[in-house]
Amino acid sequence: MSKSSRSDCKESDSEPLPIYHHKSKLVRAVKDSAFLVVTGETGCGKTTQLPQYLYEAGFCKNGKIGITQPRRVAAITVAQRVAHEMRLTLGKEVGYQVRFDDCTTEETEVKYMTDGCLLREVLADPALSHYSVIVLDEVHERSLNTDILLGLLKKVFSNPDKASEGRRRTFPVKCSFGSAVGPKDTESSGYVKEVVRVALDVHTSEMAGDILIFLTGQNEIERACDILYEKAETIDYRFDVHDQTVEGLLILPLYGSMPTDQQRQIFQPSSRGIRKCVVATNIAATSLTITGIKYIIDSGFVKQLNHNSRIGLDILEVVPISKSEAQQRAGRAGRTSAGKCFRIYNNDFWEKCMPEYTVPEIQRTSLTGVVLTLKCLGVHDVIRFPYLDSPEERFILEALKQLYQFDAIDRRGKVTKLGELMVEFPLHPGLTRAVLKAASYRCPDLMLPVAAMLSVENIFIRPGHSQKQKEADERHRALASKSGGMNDFATLLSIFHFCKSSEKPAAWCKENWIHWRALKSAFSVETQLGEILYRLQQRSDFPFESFDGNEKNKLRLCLCAGYFTNVARRSIGKAFCTMDGHGSMVHIHPSSALFENEKDFDWVMFNDVLVTSKVYIRTVCPIRYEWVKDLLPKLHEVDVYELSNVAREEVTEEEMAKWENKEAAKRRQEASAEEA
Ligand code: ADP
Ligand code: MG
């Protein structure tokens, strides 16, 4: 059986897309209104067609057409598609820009980009003077950056006009519940096996038509594809399903960091007799429309960034989807004919675990980056900013507190010099702080690769097979000890260099069970971060300082500047206790080089947290208390009530002086208490 079949992209659909019938009305409406809302069924052509209509209508004469997407894959894929439809070269007239990947030139007139990229452009040019039209796509998804962009635009425009494309008739989709996932099942191994089982069942018993499986992320998707491959090999293809011969299964993964040539295959119609099975993240729910899908298999889960107030950090978690999301997923099967949706969870799960609607990102993630951006845009009162849905005030205060801790804002809530530098980096503020620290010591090459490695998706291959897993683990442990051992950040740094200096980097990766693709991205990210840094270092006020510590500890000292918020101290047994005021009990993750050697360290610093039955810290290194001694008090220094006042109004000099005196007294007290 051939697993991959190639056929040319359809040049154009024989039947025009629904949006086509509203072309002139839409162009007119865009011309006539300052602010326009366009609604229409998923797949009707909003994303790919509307910008083309505007292009044809001459909107590019005095500026670019900018279209934002919450997800990078969508921005890239759609730009490719549009360039193809317009018969233009991608990167010239039609281009895209996503974090760490700019495929545009001076000539670019239709520019697809992530909402984060546009937000950055607003920073540099608040009037967006290079654009004649901005299309904010997928507004309903309520991504943090799109929400902020809308808020910013709302300040400029009011009274939006609405243009509705009219609901397109969709075909009925018959939904059925399964029995595999109930309110108590959250282990992903369980539902991965189940979706595979259902997919094979559909493949061997249902009429022709492609399958779309919803899972939550790269690892799961690759695992599901592996099992599918294995099982599909053993299928005996001498059967006819309802008179339509299905002879093979073409298995295609679809997730955020996939190489684009692989993504293209997803949209190609499958050849006769071959059933396509796309295994995707939530991206296939709205952002990308794949034609020919007749069967949906819904795991019921999604990966979501949530702020965990118990431990005070943002965590990427696998959570049940909302009911409205489940309906959206099911709808993907009824675009061209009647379809079926197999939900692998039971009714109890639907009733008890799935919320009605998805909570907007702004109400569930850390706002640190956004608040700094707003402040740099001159929005002082970040509490009364016209958010679409205001985040809880405590989240805003939490963000202000963090920015203060990183020295990005001062006690009056004003952006500092350092804050102005920090906002330039598309990274978490703590990581940015560490990068800038290394740069100020004139050794940026110590932190840039680490930051790059932490910005790309998981570099370690974790094969599902247990024998291979052992081999991979051994390789990874060997890499850790080759880099001095007992410091996961240093291991990342060495892997970066080992691979980069290798004559055959791809082979080196294979041998060491490292994702070559992830490393390639890391190389490119490192270059781009280096370019940003180089530009900033040209400023006359770049804060260079001398380093007078032990060279051996330099990396960890730089890390401390940004990660002192993620410090934990030995508690009972193998447990550590975080020092950020939450005092959560955490354990070192088995993937860390420090695992099983926990006893040797009293203080550790970590990059991220994984919550399963326990709270694990990942990417860890030991530190000394002296390194963070002066930084830790900052975690408790600011009083949120005072910050809340700072956020609302300019504080007078007099009030500041009073406050500072009080703080100084408090610190003296603490210091003497510690000595005692
Ligand atoms: P909307 O934004 O309204 O949801 P789109 O503009 O994304 O709709 O899609 C319109 C149509 O174009 C869909 O039928 C979809 O299948 C098709 N399409 C979009 N991207 C591609 C692609 N890369 N290859 C082939 N067809 C595509
Ligand atoms: Mg769209």
Segment 309-348, tens digit of pLDDT: 666 667 778 899 999 999 999 999 988 889 999 999 999 9
Higher pLDDT, 186 or 635: 635
Mean of pLDDT values over 257-282: 82
pLDDT of residue 11: 41
The pLDDT of residue 112 is above 70: yes
Task: State the Cα–Cα distance between residues 396 and 647, nearest whole angstrom.
Answer: 9
Give the nearest ligand 1 atom to 19 CA: 3
Cβ within 8 Å of residue 438, ≥6 positions away? 444, 445, 446, 447, 448, 554, 555, 558
Tokens 């090459």: give the residue. 445
* Residues around ligand 2, an ion, CB closer than 5 A: 46-47
Would you state the torsion angle of the CA atoms of residues 431, 435, 436, 440, taken in this order, to the nearest 10 degrees? 150
CB-CB contact of 622 with 576 (8 Å): no
Residue 646 binned pLDDT confidence (cut-offs 50, 70, 90): low
| pLDDT tens, residue by residue, 440-462 | 999 999 999 999 999 887 899 87
Closest residue (by CA) to atom 17 of ligand 1?
289
pLDDT of residue 4: 36
H helices of 268-322, where? none
The pLDDT of residue 383 is above 70: yes
pLDDT of residue 517: 85
Per DSSP, the three-state class of 288 is coil
Mean of pLDDT values over 476-481: 93
Residue 174 alpha carbon to ligand 2 centre in Å:
24
3-state helix, strand, coil split of the chain in percent (to 5) is: 45, 20, 35
Closest residue (by CA) to atom 26 of ligand 1?
267
Residue 12 binned pLDDT confidence (cut-offs 50, 70, 90): very low
Mean of pLDDT values over 162-169: 54
567-570 and 603-611 beta bridge pairing: antiparallel
Residue 289 in contact with ligand 1 by CB distance below 6 A: yes
Lowest-confidence pick of 60-74, 133-147, 537-551, 640-654:
640-654
Single-letter amino acid, residue 251: I
Q: What is each CA distance from 417 to 66, 421, 424, 535, 539, in whole angstroms? A: 31, 7, 12, 15, 11
CB-CB contact of 187 with 181 (8 Å): no
| Mean pLDDT score across all residues of the chain | 85
Higher pLDDT, 96 or 596: 96
How many helices (H) and strands (E) would you count in the chain? Answer: 24, 22
Ligand at minimal distance from the CA of 50 is: 1
Task: State the Cα–Cα distance between residues 343 and 176, nearest whole angstrom.
Answer: 6
Cβ within 8 Å of residue 585, ≥6 positions away? 571, 575, 576, 577, 615
Residue 80 alpha carbon to ligand 2 centre in Å:
14
Dmax of the chain from CA atoms?
Answer: 86
Does the CA dihedral 205-210-214-217 come out positive or negative? positive
The pLDDT of residue 661 is above 80: no
Residue 69 in contact with ligand 1 by CB distance below 6 A: no
Mean of pLDDT values over 592-597: 89
Angle subtended by helix axes 72-85 and 260-267, to nearest 10: 60
Does the CA dihedral 644-649-654-660 come out positive or negative? positive
Read off the pTM.
0.73
The pLDDT of residue 522 is above 60: yes
The pLDDT of residue 198 is above 90: yes
pLDDT of residue 5: 35
Task: State the Cα–Cα distance between residues 70 and 145, nearest whole angstrom.
Answer: 8
Residue 48 in contact with ligand 1 by CB distance below 6 A: yes
- Count CB atoms within 10 A of the CB of residue 591: 18
Residue 357 alpha carbon to ligand 2 centre in Å:
20
